[in-house]
Structure 1
Amino acid sequence: MATQNVGFQMLRSAAAGALLMAAGALAAIAAQRHAMETMRQRVEELEEQARAQQRSNLAWQQRQHWELLSKAMDDPDLTEVLDIYDTPVSPQRRRQYLFANALYTNLLCYHRIGNLTREEFFQHVRAMFQNPVVREYWYATRHLRASLTGTEEAELGALVDHLLLQLEEADTDEWWVVGEPPPADE
């Protein structure tokens, strides 16, 4: 009987040890999960800070772009520097092109920082390109956009190109219904 008692006590001790080890393992797993969750939250915070910084940088760059274009539009000597068109244009038309560029770039920036969805961008562009000077500007700068590949700006430029083709082929005066809006932003 004493042998059975010793065996039973050893079994109980082993079971208690196994339970303690399991409890320790569970506690370690719980601590790891907590640490992983804390790290995941920190990574999300850092990613959001990076997105906010990128939006801030884009807004700053947009401001710089506008200031440079404004100077060029106000000073005919500076406007000459931006004569990048395949065919000669008058100083007045060059200033108009610069303003068209500023309008388009503003829409592009608004979309990139998240103030406009792709569909809203499309709607604004569709209205803006009803102006013949804006269309002329777009065609005059086609060669400049040709070097943009694999970027969001290139995708949006292709969207505008496709829209203009649809507008030109449309047999309706109701321009606001022409063109297929792009798929919703992801």
Structure 2
Amino acid sequence: MATQTPAARPSRIGSAVMVGLGFVRAPFSRGRRRRQEELMLELLRQLTRMTEEMRRANLIQQYRLSVEQMDRAIDDPALAAAMSTLTGLSERRRRQMLFSNRQYGVLLMAHRVGVYDWDELVGHLRVLCRNEVFAEYWASTVEHRRSVPDESLESRVGSVVDGMLEDLRDDPDEWWVVGPVPESRE
């Protein structure tokens, strides 16, 4: 009774074929998995870029709103008094201080969104520091900057501006060679 029925043989052959197909498919399936992993990594990179772009767009929109408010305050003395925390200023000087703040903010925003790299930002700040109104604005708002976290961009930039203004007080005729460009700690 060692004979097998013809129906049993095809199932063995079918099982062997299936096992063989598994061996043949294995490299393809590993390749498919690798391709799926590559696609997932690319999607993650794109999602990260999109998230960064959204953050930048939100930052720009928030800044746009701030600038609109500053522009209105510069145009209207009553709004300037409501926006400014500086006391004892004429309407004209308050507007100049608000405008100085706006100019500084424009440079900072340009750096934040990638328009200026660190060296370009420092170069523009050097020129801005030559302005007497800006220097007065900076001195008048020193208390405002004390609450800024030390590790923030604004704190690092503030330290650079402090150094530039000090160097300019020491030798105002050599403004273009004021010290080495401070390194960014970004």
Gaps (5+ residues) in structure 2?
1-17
Give per-residue Cα distances to partners, 1:9-49, cap 9 Å, x unaligned. Answer: xxxxxxxx999776555334322221111011101111111
Q: Alpha carbons of 1:20 and 1:72: their partners in 2 closer, same or farther (altered >3 Å)? A: same
Letter in 2 for 1:179: G
Matched residues in 2 for 1:98 and 1:18: separation? Answer: 78
How many residues align? The count is: 169
Matched, 1:59 2:60: yes
The reply to whether residue 74 of structure 1 matches residue 75 of structure 2 is yes
Q: What are the superposed Cα offsets for residues 97-152 of structure 1, whole Å, 9 maximum, x if unpaired? A: 00000100001111100000111010001001101110010111111111111222
Matching residue of 2:35: 34
Percent of aligned pairs sharing the same letter: 35
Residue 131 of structure 1 is matched in structure 2 by 131
Structure 1: any 5+ residue segments left out of the alignment? 1-16
Q: How does 1:1-186 map to 2 (within 5 A)?
A: 24-85=25-86, 87-149=87-149, 150-169=151-170, 171=171, 173-183=173-183
Q: TM-score when scaled to structure 2?
A: 0.80
Secondary structure at the residue paired with 1:103? helix
RMSD: 2.4
Query: Which structure's relative contact order is higher, taking Cα pairs within 8 Å and 6+ residues apart?
Result: 1
Q: Is the 8 A contact 1:125 1:160 kept in 2?
A: yes
Q: Could you list the per-position Cα deviations for residues 55-109 of structure 1 after superposition, in whole angstroms to 9, with x for gaps in the alignment?
A: 2222212221111011111111111112312x52222111100000010000111
SS at match of 1:174: helix
**TM-score for the superposition, normalised by structure 1:** 0.80
